[in-house]
Amino acid sequence: MDIELSGSVVDGCAVLAIAGEVDVYTAPAFRDRLIEMVAVDPFVVVDLTGLAFIDSTGLGVLVAGRNLALEHGGAMAFVCTQDRVLKLLRITGLDSVFDVHAAVDGAIAGLRAAR
């Protein structure tokens, strides 16, 4: 399966929605798009609700993207409702590192509070 990346602006915040699979083959496209968005606005919501699969390479992109946003004085919030992905975040301990929300509006509110 391929990856679909769609960027938009919702209530003045950059939102990157991911659909499909993030693995060693698709992670470079995801990384590049995330870098582009952070360069424009270091406060980014990454919507993972359409994510079917993510491997360690994809998790690395999420961590690197968050770190890049922080380096630019921003923040990154994630939207995730899939139990499979949430479980992976818990197992890896990333649930305590990432700001994870159940909906885009909650993630946007979190970013606005961080500004």
- Per DSSP, helices labelled H in 1-115 are 27-40, 56-71, 83-92, 104-114
18 is in which domain, residue-wise? 3-114
Residues of the chain with pLDDT > 70, as a percent, come to: 99
**50-64, pLDDT tens digit by residue?**
999 999 999 999 999
Alpha carbons 33 and 44: distance in angstroms, whole number: 12
Chain centroid, CA 12 distance in Å: 17
Identify the CATH number of the domain in which residue 47 sits.
3.30.750.24
- Residue 102 phi, psi dihedral angles, 5° rounding: -90, -15
Residue 21's Cβ-count burial label (10 Å; 0-12, 13-18, 19+) is middle
For the chain, helix, strand, coil in percent to 5 are 45, 35, 20
How many structural domains is the chain composed of? 1
What is the DSSP pairing of strand 43-54 with strand 99-101? unpaired
**36-93, pLDDT tens digit by residue?**
999 989 999 999 999 999 999 999 999 999 999 999 999 999 999 999 999 999 999 9
> What pLDDT shows up at residue 115?
80
